[in-house]
Structure 1
Amino acid sequence: MPDVTIVVATKDREHDLRRSLPHHTAPVIVVDNASADGTPQVAADAGARLVRLPRNLGAAARNVGVEQATTRYVAFADDDSWWAPGALDHATKVLDAHPRTALLAARVLVGDKGRLDPTSEAMAHSPLGRPEGLPGPAVLGYLACSIVMRRDAFLGVGGFSELLHFGGEEELLALDLAAAGWGQAYLPELVVHHHPAKQGRDARGRRRREVRNRLLTAWLRRPLPALVQEAVTSLRTPEGRRGAADAVRALPAVLGSRRQVPRAVAEARAALDGY
């Protein structure tokens, strides 16, 4: 039986799925966020297990896939990404050997030329060092398409937030895992290939969502001075100001959900910002 299941959350991306799904070497669960195109048929034709949702849950659709997986480990992929051959087999061996490590983040290579993603570059030079028991540099942020982790740890902290939808949803998961005492590490020998489409992307809209989600995550988990710093930074650009306004509008839904992380986790997160 396989040790890992790949979970892909998608919506209206039949072209990307048609390219990416044949590259997967582990069982795949595709969770469809109420697509209106041929995405479900592409997933079914590729032999993936298909879960169709009646509405768009955003990143939280991955939670549904993890719940349906029966393997000890789960890996995430976007509809335009895939894990390099052998990467997941190696990841399961590393996780087996490091029982307090919940999550491994891979090196992401972008496009046909294999350009190193800036997030991978940042993780390689993480200021958090390499605590004892971790197989690589400690991290508190990553790209969702580059992580493989323990299924029970993911479910234990509640997975991805439906409130955050998409765009920077990974930070809240990282903080919750760290608060629960789990280690998270970057392993550059694990490789993910990412081929994002250039058309149909709303870069400004994504930056706006990322600002919104950083502010909401700061409210939910970080000390108030960190929230103030994030707010000040967000106001420097038009997209940031719009994202801040979006966060304010969403704030009533999370007013009673604030749960500040332990001091050590807060200090580690602050180290990533250089203060």
Structure 2
Amino acid sequence: MAEIPAGPVHDRVTVVLITWQRREEALLAVRRLLELPERPRVLVLDNGSTDGTAAALREHHPRGSVGGDRLDVIVLPENQGAVARNTGVATATTPYVAFCDDDTWWDPGSLELAADLLDADGRIAVLTARILVEPGAVEDDIVAELRDSPVQGAPGLPGPALGSFLAGASVVRRSAFLEVGGFSRRLWLGGEEELLAADLAAAGWELCFVEDLQIHHQASQLRESTRRRRNGIRNTLWFTWLRRPLPAAARRTRDLLSTLPRDRTSVLGVLDAVAGLPWLVRERKVLPPRAEARFLALEDSQRTSRSRNYSR
């Protein structure tokens, strides 16, 4: 894990943005990214939108225009959800990739800081930023949990060690991401980070929160919240059954089920999870003790978390 010599941010960081059916928001997000003083490369993965997103991006930022030469748009044949990020990371040629959604944008200076921190510490695979909710730049509730993370990481990290991360607010080391295979195609979208984080930890990589990295989030009104919650329940159970030792898996399953609203979406999410049991049994691989310790440390906070639940 040798250090990479510092250089211009656009040679070190690619921003990978995924979007679907949010043309106006994608246009605004890309404009903000191209205006950053770090001048990062921006790679948009359009998940098969039918609202003209890709054409509008190319029209507003043609080759030869200011920022246009740093923008690439890839139109996928179908909505791949979070898995579209895998294509983005594979396509990027920079050592680091900053993820972004079409309703988020990075603060000026944050990408340069992230690149410098990753240059300086080859143990780190993921840096997660402080999230400011717009309008008003109000700190997201989950930031307090990240700041007070009980996970024990290696000494000398630039911030608290994490068990998992928030993909839309993180910068990843490309080589580490590719090493463990990226996001699981089975999980699609909704709580997809936990499995990847666990596999990174199992491979010896560190994940941490850095207060001085900042990203803004203005939640889109165009959201499939019911589908997202259903997938999140399924994916949380799938991760738990795939990677946690049996006693821990039983506890986490019990705790999750006890907090779910008694509604149709919860029932469908659980049934989706149960339907995956045949492949889960085939592919189950329990985390090594050093990685399991990270998730064991999070059990109490997961029970009481206001942010990481599926009540809405």
If the length of structure 2 is used for normalisation, what is the TM-score? 0.83
The corresponding residue for 1:272 is 298
1:212 equivalenced with 2:234 (yes/no) = yes
Q: CA deviation at 1:225?
A: 2.1
What is the distance in 2 between the residues matched to 1:262 and 1:54? 37
Structure 1 residues 260, 233: closer, same or farther in 2, change over 3 A?
same
The corresponding residue for 1:186 is 209
What is the distance in 1 between the residues matched to 2:245 and 2:13? 36
- The percentage of aligned residue pairs carrying the same residue is 43
Q: CA deviation at 1:130?
A: 5.1
1:255 equivalenced with 2:269 (yes/no) = no
CA contact 1:7–1:76 (8 Å) conserved in 2: yes
Question: What amino acid does structure 2 have at the position aligned with 1:176?
Answer: D
The corresponding residue for 1:13 is 22
1:52 equivalenced with 2:75 (yes/no) = yes
Q: Pick from 243, 248, 251: which aligns with 2:269? A: 243
CA contact 1:81–1:193 (8 Å) conserved in 2: yes
For structure 1, list consecutive stretches of 5 or more residues without a partner in the other structure: none
State the number of aligned residues.
274
1:68 equivalenced with 2:91 (yes/no) = yes
What is the distance in 2 between the residues matched to 1:246 and 1:27? 38
1:200 equivalenced with 2:222 (yes/no) = yes
CA contact 2:22–2:222 (8 Å) conserved in 1: no
What is the distance in 1 between the residues matched to 2:86 and 2:283? 19
1:42 equivalenced with 2:42 (yes/no) = no
1:49-81 CA-partner distances (Å, limit 9, x unpaired): 011111221111100011010001111000111
What is the distance in 2 between the residues matched to 1:43 and 1:254? 40
Structure 1 residues 230, 241: closer, same or farther in 2, change over 3 A?
farther
Q: CA deviation at 1:139?
A: 0.4
1:169-198 CA-partner distances (Å, limit 9, x unpaired): 01111101100001111001000011112x
RMSD across aligned C-alpha pairs, in angstroms? 1.6
The corresponding residue for 1:226 is 248
What is the distance in 1 between the residues matched to 2:147 and 2:16? 25
1:105-145 CA-partner distances (Å, limit 9, x unpaired): 10010111112122222110001145313111000122111
Q: Is the radius of gyration larger for structure 1 or structure 2?
A: 2
If the length of structure 1 is used for normalisation, what is the TM-score? 0.94
What is the distance in 1 between the residues matched to 2:174 and 2:152? 25
Question: What amino acid does structure 1 have at the position aligned with 2:121?
Answer: H
CA contact 2:150–2:297 (8 Å) conserved in 1: yes
